[in-house]
């Protein structure tokens, strides 16, 4: 099977598994009623619709010559910056759970920050390849991207969306490294970036509360530590083999967000350590195949773009798993392809489609 075929198989497997787990995790809410399609219930039926749209987007972007993204990088970034600003306009943006991250489109919501991450990968990849000869000079090389990243992060923090800022910072560092930025500049940016993220974490009462809950969730087991405790209970209950698909107990109003941010905890409870191991192996396999696409790319832009898109998907998956397992503080990041939500799923499929586009035009 070709490399593109292997990536398609992984994508379809993730999407099918996502619909299955959303159905299982949302099953207790079926009693509340809602639209039902093919007997899936309101959440799984929407997830199936999002998956179908995601497949169409992946197929569409696979056929676009990736050289076009290089020319469109600046206009796309401008559109993203405008969209992130518009969420604050009354009547345009939608506030959900004290956060303003969405637009309302009919019965659905659109989260522009999910697509902003994809566009940033495209823009930074194009910039680094266009400025290869100027990267030795910090002021004319990497500094402009640092300033743009700061602007983008500021808009995300206003929503607030600290998790996306962490993702953007991590991916930017990787792209700077593979894009030819001298290591002396990277060593300068690491302490600055860590200090900035640390300051943001401790100066916000909400984020500080999450950090303290991560360090010791039992200090506040009914509030800030509740998510992590219930997640660990779910995973611990699953043991090696799990309690069986659909038989989990933590999703019965114990585990918050069982089919969104903490869907991996449901996987751990119902499919056990074995299910988590298979899921982790799938993410690792996607990472490997993505890097293989980068290795085979016919030009530097294709290689850098493939690395960025691969890291965008896998970093979010690993951070989500780290949060669920109590290894990382709660970030509010979805697991690509599995967590319920149209914006995350379609943005991830768009990224995979672009990656397939690079593979399609490689030797």
For residues 319-323, give the mean pLDDT: 92
- Separation between Cα atoms, residue 10 and residue 280, nearest integer Å: 12
- How would DSSP label each residue in 345-359? HHHHHHHHHHHHHHH
Q: Which helix (DSSP H) or strand (DSSP E) does residue 274 occupy?
A: helix 263-296
93 sits in which H/E element: strand 93-96
In a domain, 255, yes or no: yes
Mean pLDDT along residues 176-184 = 88
Q: Where does residue 237 rank: exposed (0-12), middle (13-18), buried (19+ CB within 10 A)?
A: middle
Q: Looking at the domain assignment, is residue 39 inside a domain?
A: no
Which of 125-134, 158-167, 301-310 is predicted least confidently? 158-167
Nearest to 67 by CA among 307, 301, 310: 301
Q: At 64, is the secondary structure helix, strand, or coil? A: coil
Q: Is residue 174 part of a domain?
A: yes
Residue 362 is predicted with a pLDDT of 80
Cα 120 from Cα 123, distance rounded (Å): 5
User: SS3 for 110?
Assistant: strand
Confirm whether 319 is domain-assigned.
Answer: yes
Lowest mean pLDDT among 74-88, 134-148, 222-236: 222-236
Residue 53 lies in a domain: no
Q: How far apart are CA 5 and CA 31, in angstroms?
A: 40
pLDDT in tens, 22-34: 998 887 766 555 4
d(CA 246, CA 266): 9
Q: Is residue 36 part of a domain?
A: no
Is residue 273 predicted with pLDDT exceeding 90? Answer: yes
Query: Taking 70 as the threshold, does the pLDDT of residue 50 lie above it?
Result: yes
Could you read off the pLDDT of 285-295 as tens digits, one per residue? Answer: 999 999 999 99
Token pair 């676009």 is at which residue? 64
Residue 36: band (very low, low, confident or very high) from pLDDT cuts 50, 70, 90: very low
> 192: domain range?
3-29+66-360
Which pLDDT value is given to residue 41? 72
46 lies in a domain? no
> Can you give the pLDDT at residue 173?
92
Q: Are 272 and 240 in contact (CB under 8 A)?
A: yes
Structure confidence by residue, pLDDT tens digits, 63-109: 999 989 999 999 999 999 988 888 877 777 676 666 667 777 666 77
299 within a domain of the structure (yes/no): yes
215 or 11: which leads in pLDDT: 11
- Chain-centroid distance of CA 237 in Å reads 27
Across 293-314, average pLDDT: 95
- What total number of domains does the chain contain? 1
User: How would residue 174 be classed by pLDDT, with cut points 50, 70 and 90?
Assistant: very high
């Amino acid at each position: 099977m070709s490399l593109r075929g292997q990536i398609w198989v992984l994508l379809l497997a993730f999407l099918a598994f996502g619909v299955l787990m959303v159905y299982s995790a949302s099953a207790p809410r079926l009693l509340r009623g809602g639209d039902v399609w093919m007997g899936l219930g309101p959440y799984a039926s929407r997830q199936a619709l999002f998956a179908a749209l995601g497949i169409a987007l992946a197929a569409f972007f696979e056929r676009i010559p990736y050289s076009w993204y290089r020319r469109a990088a600046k206009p796309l970034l401008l559109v993203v910056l405008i969209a992130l600003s518009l969420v604050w306009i009354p009547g345009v943006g939608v506030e959900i759970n004290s956060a303003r991250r969405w637009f309302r489109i009919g019965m659905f919501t659109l989260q522009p920050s999910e697509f902003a991450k994809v566009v940033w990968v495209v823009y930074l990849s194009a910039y680094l390849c266009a400025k290869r000869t100027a990267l030795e000079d910090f002021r004319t090389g990497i500094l402009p991207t640092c300033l743009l990243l700061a602007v983008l992060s500021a808009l995300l923090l206003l929503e607030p969306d600290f998790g996306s800022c962490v993702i953007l910072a991590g991916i930017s560092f990787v792209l700077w490294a593979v894009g030819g930025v001298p290591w002396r500049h990277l060593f300068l940016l690491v302490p600055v970036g860590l200090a900035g993220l640390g300051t943001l974490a401790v100066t916000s009462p909400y984020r500080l509360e999450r950090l303290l809950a991560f360090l010791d969730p039992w200090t506040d087991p009914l509030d800030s530590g509740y998510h992590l405790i219930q997640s660990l209970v779910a995973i611990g209950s699953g043991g090696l083999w799990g309690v069986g698909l659909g038989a989990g107990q933590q999703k019965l109003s114990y585990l918050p967000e069982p089919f969104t941010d903490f869907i991996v905890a449901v996987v751990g409870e119902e499919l056990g350590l074995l299910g988590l191991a298979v899921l982790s192996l799938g993410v690792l396999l996607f990472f490997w195949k993505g890097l293989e696409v980068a290795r085979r790319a016919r030009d530097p832009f294709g290689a850098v773009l493939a690395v960025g898109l691969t890291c965008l998907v896998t970093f979010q998956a690993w951070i989500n798993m780290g949060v669920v397992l109590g290894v990382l503080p709660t970030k509010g990041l979805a697991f690509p392809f599995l967590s319920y939500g149209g914006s995350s799923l379609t943005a991830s499929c768009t990224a995979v489609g672009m990656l397939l586009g690079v593979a399609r035009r490689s030797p």
